[in-house]
Amino acid sequence: MRPRTRWTYLILITVMAMVAAACGDDEGEGTTTLGATATTLTPSTTEGATETTAATETTAASGEPIRVGSTLALTGVFAPTAAIHKATGEVFVERINASGGLLGRPIEWILLDDESAPDLAAAAYERLITEDEVDLVLGPYGTGNITAAMAVAQRYGYVFPHHTASLTYAYTYECHFSSWSTGLHPNITNPNLLYDALESTGTPPETIGFVVNEFPGTMFISYGQPETEEGGAVTEAEKRGWEVVLDVTYPIATSDWGPLAAQVRDADPDFLYIAGLGVDAPNLITAMQAIDYSPDGMFVQWPAPGPLLGTEGADGIMSVTIFEEHPPFTDDPEAVEVAGMIDATLAESGVPYAKVETQAAASWTAWEYLQQAAEGAGSLDQQAMCDWLIDNGAQTLFHGDIEFFPDQQNYFEDLSKIKQVQDGEWYTVYPEEFAAPDRSVAFSPGG
């Protein structure tokens, strides 16, 4: 190598190293605030807050910041959905700081990247708690990461609100608080909710097929808890007298959906239950369309909502939800306002489907737990906050009033609703009291 080239590299490295070292000095914010243009707050009382009055609306929070530490999968396999949680958190922090802060002090969110790896998540939480000495923690995204982080929080006695852990049965820490709307037995309650919805049409399916992503959460919902094997979408369907004509598990990193589509077509179920995540559904539906097949009805467990809307043949597919941007959810002006802010931030960060739904709602609620625990206990003492939450529950914007049942591992009942893609948009359709105006479950075998 010529000397000049070597020098170039040397200089390059030195510069990089200096930059890296200099940045290593910055112990503060891990987030880049997007400077979301927040809509002006309309005077309204924040639900559940015990001391913010209209007068403090314009008072900026002051004093030493309260530091909240957490990680998210900013890179790696979980990154697509983690982006939603990042945006939601940023909106929450901005909003609370603009209206008096927490206990009068501004919140500083220290967000680290766990790279979708549980061991890194665990290490990051140890750092946040023992080196950065944060006052509060919030859970990460992704079941594995949440599990690892929860163990750390438990070790140091930190209250642990988290949003998306799907393996509910495993969480026994007394001070964990989940905002995942399914309650303790999603493997029983979730499928039954769907099946009730189907029966409410008067024309339920007679045959049903299952394609299950080999992800622990979806396996749990479909087949029940590993040891006990109680419940599970498949068993619950059989209890209704429906015939299970297909039951296939597929790997998470499936790239060729043709064979699976062929199998579904071959089994030809009245209703197809896709226990899948992310873009499993659009991929499978597209593959089925390509072989000229379309089931009469479909359900997908935890889809990325946006891509599904743009998929041919996806009309009529159902999923679970906790919040959608239409009445009756939008009857609450504050929910509308917050949703608007989150939408704006999502759009700014380049997320294609910039609307609040289950993920963002769960994230917001977890933050609310933290806020209400601190405000209720009047301090940042972890045990006090934990006790307060268990005794008083939380009043949340998107999930309504929540009570934590210690004998149910702090879970509450299943709050999920069923939504369906109709006319190219998601609408809640069941239970009736939450259905969008003039919308109801649309399903009939052979139709």
Partner 1 sequence: MELLAQGIVSGILVGGLYALMSIGISLSWGALKIINLAHFSFILLSAYIVYQLTVSFEVDPLLMVLVVAPLFFLVGVLVQMFFHLAKVDEFKSLIITFGLFIIFQSAMQTIWSADFRRIGPVLNPYETQSFFVGGIAFQLPQLVAFVVALLIAGGMWLTFTRTYFGKAVRAVAQDPEMARAFGIDSRRVAVILSGLSTAFSALAGVFIAIGQTMFPELAVAWFGIIFPIVILGGLGNSLGTLTAGVIIGVAAGVSSVLWGPLSAPLVTFTILIVALLFRPEGLITKRSIA
Partner 2 sequence: MSGRVRTLVGFVAIAVILGLAPNIQESLEFPRFYLIFLFTMFFWISQASSWNILTGYSGYFSFGQGAFYGVGVYTVGVLVVKQGWSFMTALPVAGLLAGLTGLLLGLVVFRVRRLTGEIFALTTLAIAFVLASVARLSTFIDGGTGIFMTGTPLPEFLGEFTTAAYRLTLAIALITVVVAYLIHDSRLGWGLFAIRDDEPVAEGLGVPTFRYKMVALGANALLAGLMGGVWSLQLGFVTVDDVFNIRVPLFVILMSVLGGMRHWMGPVIGAVIITTLTDRLNSAGLADVNQIIIGGMLVVLALAVREGVYVRMRRRWLTTAVTFFGVLGLATLLDLNDSLISDFAYAMVATVVVMLVPDRVWAQFADLFRRSEPVEEPTEAEDLTRTGP
Q: Which residues bind partner 2 (CB under 8 A)?
A: 1, 3, 6, 9-10, 12-14, 16-17, 20-21, 23-27, 29-31, 74-75, 77, 110-113, 117-120, 122-124, 126-127, 129-131, 133, 143-144, 147-148, 150-151, 155, 167, 170, 214-216, 219-220, 226, 249, 251-253
The answer to whether 445 touches 296, Cβ cutoff 8 Å, is yes
Residue 419 belongs to what H/E stretch?
A: strand 417-422
| Torsion over CA: 268, 425, 368, 107 (sign) | positive
Beta bridge partners of 111: 70
Burial class (CB in 10 A: 0-12, 13-18, 19+), 180: buried
Q: Which is nearer to partner 2, 9 or 379 (CB)?
A: 9
Task: Work out how close the CB of 88 gets to partner 2 at its nearest, in angstroms, rounded to a whole number.
Answer: 17
Residue 220 belongs to what H/E stretch?
A: helix 216-223
Task: Work out how close the CB of 62 gets to partner 2 at its nearest, in angstroms, rounded to a whole number.
Answer: 24
Name the site residues for partner 1 (rule: CB under 8 A).
Answer: 1, 5, 74-77, 79-83, 214, 248-251, 253-256, 258-260, 262-263, 265-266, 278-279, 282-283, 286-287, 289-292, 304, 306-307, 310-313, 349-353
Among partner 2, partner 1, none, partner that 143 touches (CB below 5 to 8 angstroms by kind) = partner 2
Q: Which is nearer to partner 1, 258 or 378 (CB)?
A: 258
Task: Work out how close the CB of 90 gets to partner 1 at its nearest, in angstroms, rounded to a whole number.
Answer: 14
How does 9-37 read in b/e, with b if 16+ C-beta sit within 10 Å?
Answer: eeeeeeeeeeeeeeeeeeeeebbeebebe
The answer to whether 280 touches 274, Cβ cutoff 8 Å, is yes
Q: Which is nearer to partner 1, 201 or 319 (CB)?
A: 319
Task: Work out how close the CB of 395 gets to partner 1 at its nearest, in angstroms, rounded to a whole number.
Answer: 31
DSSP-derived letter for residue 229 is -
Determine the Cα–Cα distance for residues 260 and 288; give it in Å rounded to an integer.
9
Query: Given 3-state DSSP classes, what are the helix, strand and coil percentages for the chain, each rounded to the nearest 5?
Result: 40, 20, 40
Among partner 2, partner 1, none, partner that 409 touches (CB below 5 to 8 angstroms by kind) = none
The answer to whether 446 touches 203, Cβ cutoff 8 Å, is no
Task: Work out how close the CB of 158 gets to partner 2 at its nearest, in angstroms, rounded to a whole number.
Answer: 13
Q: Which is nearer to partner 1, 69 or 313 (CB)?
A: 313
Q: How far is CA 185 from CA 167, 408, 418, in A?
A: 9, 10, 17
Q: Which is nearer to partner 2, 127 or 326 (CB)?
A: 127
Among partner 2, partner 1, none, partner that 311 touches (CB below 5 to 8 angstroms by kind) = partner 1
Q: Which is nearer to partner 1, 312 or 391 (CB)?
A: 312
Q: Which is nearer to partner 1, 10 or 60 (CB)?
A: 10
Burial class (CB in 10 A: 0-12, 13-18, 19+), 47: middle
Task: Work out how close the CB of 150 gets to partner 1 at its nearest, in angstroms, rounded to a whole number.
Answer: 24
Among partner 2, partner 1, none, partner that 127 touches (CB below 5 to 8 angstroms by kind) = partner 2
Task: Work out how close the CB of 138 gets to partner 2 at its nearest, in angstroms, rounded to a whole number.
Answer: 16
